[in-house]
Amino acid sequence: MNVQSLLEGVGPWALLVIAGFVFIESGLLFPFLPGDSLLVTAGLIHHQLGLTLPIIIAVAFVAAAAGDQVGYLLGTWFGPRLFKDDARILKTSRLRETEAFFAKFGGRALVLGRFVPIIRTYVPLAAGSARYPYRRFLPWNLAGAFLWVVLVTVVGSLLGGVPFIVNNIDVLLTVVVVVSVLPIVIDQVRKRVRARRAADAEADG
């Protein structure tokens, strides 16, 4: 999809297109829309579109936050019904693991997940399915949506003229997230190794 041609082609409807794409990608389980590229391009050509950065950011933020609310509600209403003890993929045990994961890393998962394509679509659904408390979900959801929209749109405005940035924005954001969570992963691996060694030592003793 040529995002720039799309935005320029819709003329005065550009803001509505931005809001619609961001909302659908965030909350309606359709992860294949170009959310990152759309915001980068909108930031790059906002003058041609007759829009200001604050307006783009405000509308995209509302759409992203609202989309996550829908995803969370879908997870709350339908998520647990999809999990069964004898299922191949959606096992009940996986739901319990998800619940434990959000209990420990809920806030960070909601914020960092927003920056990863495809993952951002399913994190709110997983939070709702795991019954992650809404009072915790809401502030982290708003923070993640705000940071994502502001960062990506401003990057587009400042660096959108660099082809490498525009063509690889999804990959670049994913790398940033991986680097951010790497210390957490390493810490968890170390704890599991220590726990296993302690269990082995107790068994030998």
Sequence-distant (≥ 6) Cβ neighbours of residue 166 within 8 angstroms: 37, 40, 41, 44, 156, 160
At residue 23's C-alpha, the angle toward residues 20 and 26, to 5°, is 145
In angstroms, rounded to a whole number, what is the distance separating the alpha carbons of residues 199 and 193?
10
pLDDT of residue 65: 92
Mean pLDDT for 63-87 is 79
For the chain, percent of residues with pLDDT exceeding 70: 62
Mean pLDDT for 181-188 is 56
Hey, where are the domains in the chain?
A: 3-204
In the predicted structure, residue 58 carries a pLDDT above the cut 90: yes
Lowest pLDDT segment from 53-57, 102-106, 108-112: 102-106
Distance CA 100, CA 94 (A): 10
3-state secondary structure of 132: coil
Distance (Å, whole) CA 67 – CA 93: 27
Helices (H) and strands (E) in the chain, counts: 10, 0
The alpha carbon of 83 is separated from its chain's Cα centroid by a whole number of angstroms, namely 22
pLDDT digits (tens, 9 = 90+) for 111-152: 877 877 777 777 888 888 878 888 888 999 999 899 889 988
Q: Give the DSSP letter of residue 50.
A: T
Residue 96 pLDDT more than 60? yes
**In whole numbers, what is the pLDDT of the chain averaged over residues?**
75
Most confident residue range from 3-12, 30-39, 87-96, 126-135: 126-135
Please compute the mean of the pLDDT values over residues 45-55 and round it to a whole number.
Answer: 86
pLDDT band (50, 70, 90) for residue 62? very high
Amino acid at residue number 108:
R
What's residue 69's pLDDT?
92
Band of residue 63 on the pLDDT scale cut at 50, 70, 90 = very high
Statement: residue 91 has pLDDT above 70: no
Taking 70 as the threshold, does the pLDDT of residue 164 lie above it? Answer: no
Question: Sorting pLDDT into bands at 50, 70 and 90, what band is 106?
Answer: low
pTM recorded for the entire structure: 0.72
Do the Cβ atoms of 56 and 14 come closer than 8 Å?
Answer: no
Contact between residue 56 and residue 22 where contact means Cβ atoms under 8 Å apart: no
Segment 165-173 mean pLDDT = 61
Residue length, the chain?
205
